[in-house]
Amino acid sequence: MNMSEFSVHDGLSLSELVRTRQVTPLELLEAAIARIERHNPGLNAVVYTAFDEARESAKAPLPDGPLSGVPFLIKDLGQRVKGWPRTSASFFAEVAADAEDSELVRRYRSAGLVLAGKTNTPEFGIPGVTQSARLGICRNPWNPDHVSGGSSGGAAAAVASGMVPIAHASDGLGSIRIPAACCGLVGMKPTRDRNPNGGEDTDRAIGLSVDHVVSRTVRDSAAMLDATGYPEPASPYAYPYKERPYLEEVSRSPGKLKIFWSGVTPSGRPVDPEIQSALERTATLLAQLGHDVREQAITLDWRQFYRAQAIVSGSNFAAGMARMVEAIGREPAGDIGPLARRGYDRGREITGQQAMWAWQQLRVMSRQVMATFEDCDVHLTPVLGTAVPRVDWLDPLAVEIREYDKRSAKTYPFTPPYNITGQPSLSLPLWQTPDGLPLAMMFSGRYGDEATLYRLAGQLEKECPWKDRKPPIWN
């Protein structure tokens, strides 16, 4: 199979070719390697390769999973792969080689995936762009002058450029949905505790961060969540209810949904006109599809909400850094970047009383957000408040840090609340800007209700077939 034939297919299609013996897993892997070697020098999406190990895996008998034989990439943050380094994009925190796979990685292998390497991420996954002193800038396949989003920007750039059809990603305050939006992909942030956290649960201690994938098709996202999202032994958290496989939901009618939509940002600053126009087009399309659509924002004291979130996130980051310091045997010096340094210093100043006050505040305010979903099935907003920004405009290493904060808040105003509440939230690449960059909408649902989002996504994928759109570098 050559590079162009490989990139036409999504993951399920490739796995079917393997299952019917039209192609071998090794042929798929070699096609993926060829595309990585061709496109990665200009994108910097893949930062570690294990091609020889992957070749041995592809030659050996693979589990008969839903994505058996499909090449796959792991984000270089959080998840452990036996024998592979894990840098977290940091000079300070690099692990030379992990001793064993994390639980989620074991489930990826059980699904039949062939692990070929790791993707770029910013230091500790902090910003909504993927660039760091350790791993460099990851660029957008649609236009390399623009960001790929973050913190799963490497995964998104790899999938959008056709290196692989699907890749691991994680989302702490938008880090699946933002890069999916920037790179024209499907990005589902699943319900909290839908996917396993594993015994090494400290990275997920506060529950904001979840793992899943970015993909080109809705069905690949659904199939992967079916493959990995099942109860985890010894987990202290209740597994969210699920009625049937999500892959079945994609082809089911969503029925007539009650959908609220809003372009109101937490700061009250309006989104860019082209974003507002696309939002209104989406609302019109949904009404034409028979849904009950009305404009209504979530009412909340957003200043208090984000104050509490900052305290919780800051204290959690400082606690995580303290564990690293203990393991490494020294404090970080000049080997962490400015965002990490600020987060660590501020986090250490937070008292236990302040951290618990913030937890209490977020719990109360999460109820207020969820109350909106007593009256609607889905809440629609844009993913970004602006068009996909240029790399030099949103650069955490070059732009003064307070100015970077302002620009970041303007660009990414919508994603964080659903990490706080734990609700599923999905980015879909419905539109494009006049200059050809992806323009995505975000659909958020009730706690545990990925099913409704997948049904709606399947309907919208037929109306706006984004899989046929390719970035200029595709061939």
- Does residue 366 have an active-site annotation? no
Longest dimension (CA), the chain: 62
What pLDDT sits at residue 428? Answer: 99
Q: What is the mean pLDDT of each run of 10 residues along the chain (475 residues)?
A: 85 98 97 98 98 98 97 97 98 95 97 98 98 98 98 98 98 97 98 90 82 98 98 90 97 98 95 98 98 97 97 96 95 95 97 97 97 97 98 97 97 97 98 97 98 98 94 90
Distance (Å, whole) CA 41 – CA 45 = 9
The pTM of the full predicted model, rounded to 2 decimals, is: 0.98
The single-letter DSSP state of residue 75 is: E
Evaluate whether 178 touches 412 at the Cβ level (below 8 Å): yes
Q: In terms of DSSP bridges, do strands 378-382 and 292-295 run parallel, antiparallel, or are they unpaired? A: unpaired
- Does residue 267 have an active-site annotation? no
162 backbone dihedrals φ, ψ, rounded to 5°: 80, 15
- Does residue 315 have an active-site annotation? no
Which entry of 7, 75, 161, 221 is annotated as an active-site residue?
Answer: 75
What pLDDT sits at residue 204? Answer: 72
User: What digits encode the pLDDT tens for the residues 260-273?
Assistant: 999 999 999 999 99
Which entry of 15, 68, 170, 175 is annotated as an active-site residue?
Answer: 175
- Sequence-ordered list of residues with C-beta below 8 angstroms from that of 95, at least 6 positions apart, any chain: 85, 86, 87
Evaluate whether 143 touches 437 at the Cβ level (below 8 Å): yes
Q: What angle do CA 35, 38, 43 make, to 5 degrees?
A: 100
What pLDDT sits at residue 317? Answer: 96
Which entry of 102, 151, 313, 408 is annotated as an active-site residue?
Answer: 151
What pLDDT sits at residue 1? Answer: 76
What pLDDT sits at residue 201? Answer: 73
